């Protein structure tokens, strides 16, 4: 087990990513943040707060439940915990997730978003990119690239859920 990020490093990384988002988009006009449940939701909220402190604008922020859009999980049409209380039509969506692995989570999130409207653009934020892509998807903003074996596990812990902030790399047997 090895700690990849502590609380300060997560904070610094999200601050850097927030500055990159503002710079790439030449400001925050027409941007919305959408986190992928579960931890992407809280990362999106943090990015919203950082951008507000930098630019003075609270971007619209929501979250998407991708369960019904996964190609590897049983669908449950009755339950959808998505909350996007604004239109995504012609918006630049900043989609936020914690760990980028195969790309299937992102594909499912994009499918879910497209059912809700037609965004102008979707940009992707990943706290950790661990490789092993199965789909041709790439993040626009990456906290840290961490090459891993398929058996290793990246565990993101956030205060909002776990009571502490850290990112841990574990062997598959731990």
Q: Mapped to the 3 state alphabet, what secondary structure does the chain carry?
A: CEEEECHHHHHHHHHHHHHHHHHHCCCCCCEEEEEECCHHHHHHHHHHHHHHHHHCCCCCEEEECCHHHCCCCCCCCCCCCCECCCCCCCCEEEEEEEEECCCHHHHHHHHHHHCCCCCCEEEEEEEEECCCCCCCCCCCEEEEECCCCCCCEEEEECHHHHCCCEEEEECCCC
User: 3.40.50.20, 3.40.50.2020, 3.10.20.90, 3.30.300.210: which CATH number matches 2-170?
Assistant: 3.40.50.2020
- pLDDT tens, 66-104? 998 887 766 666 678 999 999 999 999 999 999 999 999
How do the domains of the chain map onto residue ranges? 2-170
Q: What's the average model confidence in pLDDT over 101-130?
A: 97
pLDDT on residue 73: 67
What predicted TM-score, i.e. pTM, was given to this entire model? 0.95
Q: Is the pLDDT of residue 151 over 90?
A: yes
pLDDT at 77: 65
């Amino acid at each position: 087990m090895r700690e990849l990020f502590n609380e300060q490093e997560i904070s610094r990384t999200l601050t850097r990513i927030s500055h990159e988002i503002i710079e790439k988009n030449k400001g925050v006009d027409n941007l919305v943040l959408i986190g992928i449940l579960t931890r992407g939701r809280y990362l999106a909220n943090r990015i919203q707060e950082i951008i507000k402190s930098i630019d003075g604008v609270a971007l619209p922020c929501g979250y998407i439940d991708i369960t019904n859009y996964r190609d590897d999980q049983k669908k449950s049409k009755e339950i959808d915990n998505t909350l996007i209380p604004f239109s995504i039509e012609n918006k630049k969506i900043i989609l936020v997730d914690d760990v980028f692995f195969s790309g299937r989570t992102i594909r499912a999130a994009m499918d879910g978003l497209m059912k809700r409207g037609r965004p102008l653009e979707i940009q992707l934020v990943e706290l950790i990119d661990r490789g092993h892509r199965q789909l041709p998807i790439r993040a626009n903003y990456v906290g840290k690239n961490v090459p891993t074996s398929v058996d290793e596990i990246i565990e993101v812990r956030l205060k909002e859920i776990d009571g502490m902030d850290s990112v841990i790399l574990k062997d598959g047997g731990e």
